[in-house]
Structure 1
């Protein structure tokens, strides 16, 4: 195929991807589901399993093999910009006086699913062998199985919290704070797993790559923020916002290239670059940076969903695959909700607030998909198991909103109170009843 023909195919495929993904996202939102669910569904539908099976000629015409590198390049670029924004917005100072509860919830909702996932990979390795996994999985494969059950999608969770009016409630703040900590823990463990599990072959052994990765991280944390503040924020009055944005995205791409060269993944460099970018005075986010980052990433992320959908193999889903999907989905939901709820209850939250926290933490969405793609590229997953886990991520995200409604219906109604006589200034104020949902943050001082 000539270069001109490839360009034409790429332009046509790009038009279809953007329109289909954003239309599906709009439809998902109309159905009270996260926008990302519709985009992920569209990406799978445009892959070989559905479009390729129903209309193979149309699929070959729309997505010839020659445009695959260009689609992958757009997908990786979108991923870098998206995770750069996630790293920039990551703010653990939101914990405040709820730090102890959030840390307890984060640790519990990571450790319990991690243990269940890793243990399941060892106990059911014979069944997983039917899905293309080795009968004697490597330690990295076992750990990655635990990570797959431990992830919470911060962007999706934040959107659900905002759309349900939970932003200024105790369960909303605790869930978002715990999810931020979970991000830090999960990406750190995943980075170590990727160093040992990358199957592409590197000249340096993984211990050396680990040392270089730690050194690069330390350099970025120590020198990156002061350097950026001096070069970009110090000359802010003389630098156009568009130029500063371009330089920062270039900085994120360079950081992603370094971590990719070390055998990690572009996602780690992008996150790290976002974390070290300085904020405004008082720790606020720069709107001239956040807004265009969101615009660019939301526009181009459909390419990532389509590239991810190319590896979803529905024709590999036999009875074993569907059984594994059912088991994995049940474990993913119950371990997250159960551990998050118990930890929140132990942290002092009421029963209904604790249930809300547990349900919110079960949303996986885009973050899970990013980790699964990294694991597939590092050969920690087979394509059939990747397909199972993609559908698990979709199912757990779809279930979050209905489960929130169920928690609301099961909430203990606030008991009716008889009118109280007027209190004198010295009379003590009655304490609120435990178990109401949700508890406003302001009521906790």
Structure 2
């Protein structure tokens, strides 16, 4: 294929991806479901399992192999921008008076699903072999199975909290704050898992771990004051500052990828060390373009993720595995979070609300699964099962909340004084819900 033809194919495929993904996201939002559900469904539909099976000629014309690297590059760029925003908006200072409840819920919501996931990986090794996994699972594979069950998606959770009028309530504050803390724990464990898995890196994993710790320490100690002096102290034009910060995020992502980690960790770290305004608020001149760019380009990530979904691998074993994974993902999250919330003093309805919200998965789960698949910790059939598990648990959140609202009312504690609109993470537009600023709305 000539360079001109490749460019034209890429332009045509990009047009289809953007229109189909955002149209599907808009439809999902109209159906009271998160935006990601529609976008991911569109990505799977445009992949080899559906479009490739129904119209292989059209699929080959729209998505020739030659444009694969360009699409992957766009997907990685969108992922870096999105996670840079995640890191920048992460703020655990909102714990406030509910710190004890938040820490208790986060610990339970991570530990119980983690233990169950690891235990199931060891217990069902023979069944996992039929899904393409090796006879003997490596420690990294076992730990990753636990991580896959323990993820909670902060963006979609925040959106659902706002849509259901829970933003100023005790369960809303506790769930969003606990999910933010759980994200920190989950990403840390996932980073260690990917480091240990090794891949094709020339350095052994202990050396890569030492270098990674050194890089993190350098970023935490030196990057924030340097950025504040260079980019904020010079009264730099916002558009130029935004461009330089995106370059900073891409560079950080490149370093972590070179150390055997995924680009996601460098992007998160870069966002976390970027200084805020003097009063601790987010810089709107940075947040708005971050939302707009990531919202525009994230459909490429969904399509790339959909390329790895193999519906033809979903035989009886696959569907049974999907049912079991979904049941375990829902029951372990809701059960552990609800019990922890009750032990922390929340009443029955509030505790159930926290449990259901903590079961929410979405783009965060998909990012983790994609990283695990690229690190060869998942086979394609098992990756497919877990992608559909993430979709199923996300879809179940709203119906479960409606069931809880029908429970008999109990006395409820007074809502906390802080305003969780400045929540742990404010980036809902890619997962559904009302964005923090009108300019960020892509639906």
Give the structure-2-normalised TM-score.
0.93
When Rg is computed on C-alpha atoms for both structures, the one with the higher figure is 1
Give the alignment partner of residue 275 of structure 1, picking from 251, 263, 272. 272
Map of 1:429 onto structure 2: none
Map of 2:125 onto structure 1: 125
* Counterpart check, 1:240 vs 2:237: yes
Aligned partner of residue 406 in structure 2, secondary structure:
helix
When structure 1 is superposed on structure 2, of 304-313 and 398-407 the one drifting more is: 398-407
Give the alignment partner of residue 363 of structure 1, picking from 360, 363, 374. 360
Shift of 1:124: 0.5
Map of 1:207 onto structure 2: 206
* Counterpart check, 1:384 vs 2:384: no
* Structure 2: segments with no counterpart, 5+ residues: 420-443
Map of 2:426 onto structure 1: none
Structure 2 CA distance, aligned partners of 1:235 and 1:218? 25
Structure 1 CA distance, aligned partners of 2:9 and 2:397? 38
Structure 2 CA distance, aligned partners of 1:186 and 1:397? 18
Map of 2:109 onto structure 1: 109
Map of 1:413 onto structure 2: 409
Q: Decide whether the 8 Å contact of 2:179 with 2:358 is kept in 1.
A: yes
Q: Decide whether the 8 Å contact of 2:198 with 2:205 is kept in 1.
A: no
Structure 1 CA distance, aligned partners of 2:309 and 2:169? 38
Q: Decide whether the 8 Å contact of 2:94 with 2:418 is kept in 1.
A: no
* Structure 1: segments with no counterpart, 5+ residues: 415-432
Map of 1:185 onto structure 2: 185
Map of 1:54 onto structure 2: 54
Q: Decide whether the 8 Å contact of 1:353 with 1:439 is kept in 2.
A: no
Aligned partner of residue 152 in structure 1, secondary structure:
coil
1:73-113 CA distances to partner (integer Å, 9 max, x unpaired)? 00000000000000000000000111111000000000000
Aligned partner of residue 386 in structure 1, secondary structure:
helix
**Runs (4+) off by over 3 Å:** none
Shift of 1:129: 0.4
Q: Decide whether the 8 Å contact of 1:198 with 1:379 is kept in 2.
A: no
* Counterpart check, 1:224 vs 2:220: no
* Counterpart check, 1:8 vs 2:8: yes
Q: Decide whether the 8 Å contact of 1:344 with 1:354 is kept in 2.
A: yes
* Counterpart check, 1:266 vs 2:263: yes
* Counterpart check, 1:441 vs 2:416: yes
Map of 1:316 onto structure 2: 313
Shift of 1:413: 2.5
* Counterpart check, 1:295 vs 2:270: no
The CA RMSD measured in Å over matched residues stands at: 1.2
1:37-84 CA distances to partner (integer Å, 9 max, x unpaired)? 110111011100011011111100000000000000000000000000
1:210-263 CA distances to partner (integer Å, 9 max, x unpaired)? 000000000000001000000001012xx2110000000000000000000000
Map of 1:333 onto structure 2: 330
Map of 1:423 onto structure 2: none
Q: Whose relative contact order is higher, 1 or 2, with alpha carbons under 8 Å and at least 6 apart?
A: 2
Structure 1 CA distance, aligned partners of 2:129 and 2:270? 38
Aligned partner of residue 348 in structure 1, secondary structure:
coil
Q: How many residues align?
A: 419
